[in-house]
Amino acid sequence: MTSVYAQRRARLAAQLGEGGIAIIPTAPERGRNRDNSYLYRHDSYFYYLTGFSEPNACLVLKADGSSTLFCQPKDLEREIWDGYRLGPEAAVSTLGMDAAFSVDDIDTRLPRLLENQDKVWWPFATHEGLAARVEGWLQKVRARTRAGALCPAAQGDVCTLLDEMRLIKDAHELAIMRRAGQISARAHIRAMQRAARMLRAGEDCREYHLDAELLHEFRQGGAEGVAYDSIVAAGPNACVLHYRADKAPVRSGDLVLIDAGCELEGYASDITRTFPANGTFTGPQRALYELVLDSQKAAIAATRAGNRFNDPHDATVAVLAQGMLDLGLLDKSKYGNAQDVIAQRAYFQFYMHRTGHWLGMDVHDCGSYVEMSEVDAASTRTDALSGEAITRPSRILRPGMVTTIEPGIYVRPAPGVPEQFHHIGIRIEDDAVVTETGCELITRDVPVEADAIEALMRD
């Protein structure tokens, strides 16, 4: 049976055009400090086409569908230190390649593969030094023109092709992402219950204690690790959007915001929950929490095939704008109604990010947010986030796209802001697969309703 990776290579090859050839390298290893490297993570484009996670590798794909892999050669001595290598000989059958060679020979063999091709595709602006290497390989082809070799006369960014392919997830990808969502949901539950348990016992609870629970459950569930640096923000720290789990105390009466997700088989999950550290919301906390949850429900309702990517954000802003007036965060005498709040972007004081982003192999996954088939169409609108006039049409949602839905509210002390809301930061985030009739939330194994969160933390 043809593997999912071979099927993807065939789809990409069909888009290269007659005489097209693509070069897709994996990510390099990164040094952390002396004699120590960061945990290796493959390049997403390369892995999408190969399923191969070793470093020092490169895929070459021609328009006729033929595939060549350059990878690390077998080296028994290095494998004692660094681990098993597949090697070129086994790569052909294991990965379904037509040919495989040692990466040590790439500078000799790759120019020959480029000979007599019309256009070379490679990922622009993603691999430091790759442009110079491509230029060097082409120079070697030009050096053979007197022998009758033809050099590719055009170049293209292969990311433009792969981004469109990766934007629509296939059944293989969605199955992995559902499992990743389940693992991450269990991790959030574990962290919630740890906070309540430690505070009930009178123990000194810190952000890093909750971060440890997340990491435990990610690995316990079989994930490779985190999809991004986990945010564990207690009390006022929740008002810092990209806060990282640190050593701040988790105090009874505070809210805790956790934005964390695992990476499973190369795919990310992304969940945010905000909960009362001691298991019980205060009145002001619950009021703001219910507002954010209502705005998320509005965004979920707007996430369906045929709608635009910006529709969930606009739905979120509409609910938040009215709620900010109703709760007194914004002065009704200054802003008469929600439309005025939106027109003047007054909500931006408390909500300053978008409601979602693509999700897949990368937590901020690839894929244009512009509807490419309508780029030349007149579609002027005011962007709800920046307030700018936007002429580029927002992307039409289609089945198989995966997006996050993550509204929030962040209240820092300021003149006119009711004191009972000071230092409250709330975000609620779920991962949604777009369907014909709506969306499938694949991260709801962790509760989201305020009453359900309190009940969970009592257990």
Catalytic site positions: 35, 242, 259, 270, 353, 357, 364, 406, 410, 427, 429
Which tokens is 29 given?
């290893």
Nearest one of 218, 320, 290 to 448, comparing CA atoms: 290
In the block, residue with structure tokens 């985030």: 429
411 beta partners: 424
396 beta partners: 308
Q: How many CB atoms lie within 10 A of CB 378?
A: 7
Separation of alpha carbons 165 and 173, rounded Å:
12
Nearest one of 211, 257, 213, 253 to 234, comparing CA atoms: 257
Nearest one of 329, 332, 309, 337 to 409, comparing CA atoms: 329
Separation of alpha carbons 154 and 166, rounded Å:
24
In the block, residue with structure tokens 């007599």: 116
Q: Are 140 and 111 in contact (CB under 8 A)?
A: yes
Which DSSP state fits 324? H
- Cα dihedral angle (113, 5, 164, 67), rounded to 10 degrees? 10
